[in-house]
Structure 1
Amino acid sequence: MNPRLSVRAVFYCQNHILLCKHQDDRGFWYITPGGGVEHGETLEEAFHRELMEELGIQAEMGDVLCIRDLITDRSPTPYLPDHFHQLEVFVEGIKPNFIAQASNLDPAQIGYEWVHLDKLDNILFFPKELVSVFQNRDFSTIYQGHKL
């Protein structure tokens, strides 16, 4: 199996970050907007498609902030498939413009929310290993690797 490539958008407004809100048997949980890059699709095309599907917004794609490996064989995760390997490219989202309703929500997604950065420690946020990176907006280490 090859790793899945994913693009994730990071939008900040003052001391808040824009997150997709989900609900399942764990309660509410949050992730940055984005998802898988399809075959033949550029990273930027996937960025724009995922934002329309999950949030109904158009935005500019900024610089790459960081890259993370997610490998469930090294750190079993109950809500992800066995042998799952995803390479996540987090990019800066610029000038979000809410123009439409979300067209294709992810499973368990119930909407989106601007979350205060101080609250990331108190909510079920993924990737939890990078909470301090997002809170401090410190992307000085571009490759985050696989964190246990």
Structure 2
Amino acid sequence: MKEILVFGNKGENLQYKTRIGVYSIIFNKKRDQILVIRTTRGGYFLPGGGLEEKENHEECLQREMLEETGFQVFMGEYLGQAQKYHLAMGKYPTLNHAHFYMATLGEKVQEPVEIDEEPIWVHISEVENLLFHEHQVWGVKQAFVKLGI
């Protein structure tokens, strides 16, 4: 079994809660930009998020995309998984176990539910500097490798 890459530092004497997440890497037609979520707090993240009870990866990604962007999404090839130790919201010890997928944007079917988040396109050269989590940068780099970028 392939070892899972782990990012972040595990603090001593902290009780970490594992949160399984599913994230999409969506390119524009030219493959020179990817879709990211910008928060009103100034953070940048890949579209996606945590699995809810009894959801599979595809259901999670579809729900998260509707909430964050209002768009349908079509899940593509699995790119891999990575973990990151961090303090969610600056205070909750969390181990994010992230699964990354190539995906394609579908039709806009509703207005986004998340009012403090905005979907934007960013040039692929900006991804490494913008994305908040290193394991999400790793996921994007897996997509670059897959596409020969």
Asked if these proteins are the same fold (TM beyond 0.5), I'd say yes
Deviations 1:50-102 (A, max 9, x none): 11011001121112112110113xxxx58443431110111111243222211
Range with greater deviation from structure 2 (131-140 or 28-37):
131-140
Distance 2:88 2:57 in 1: 28
- Distance in 1 (alpha carbons) for counterparts of 2:36 and 2:27: 10
The runs of 4+ residues in structure 1 deviating greater than 6 Å are: none
Structure 1 residues 65-104: aligned runs within 5 Å = 65-72=79-86, 77=87, 79-103=89-113
How many residues matched? Answer: 129
Is it true that 1:23 corresponds to 2:40 in the alignment?
A: yes
Give ranges in structure 1 of 5+ residues lacking alignment: 141-148
Alpha-carbon contact 1:8-1:35 (below 8 Å) kept: yes
Gaps of 5+ in 2: 1-15
Pick aligned residue for 2:73 from 47, 56, 59: 59
TM-score by length of 2: 0.73
Query: CA distance change for structure 1 residues 10 and 133 in 2, over 3 Å: closer, same or farther?
Result: closer
Distance in 2, matches of 1:6 and 1:55, equals 17
Corresponding letter in the other structure for 2:126: K
TM-score normalized with structure 1 length: 0.74
What's the offset of the Cα at 1:5? 0.7
Amino acid at match of 2:122: V
Check the 8 A contact 2:71/2:105 in 1, yes or no.
no
TM-superposed deviation, 1:12: 0.6
Conserved 8 A contact 2:79-2:139: no
Out of 41, 50, 54, which is 2:64 matched to? Answer: 50
Counterpart CA distance in 2 for 1:46 and 1:78 is: 19
Q: Quote the Cα distance in structure 1 between the aligned partners of 2:110 and 2:136.
A: 30
Q: Percent identity?
A: 22
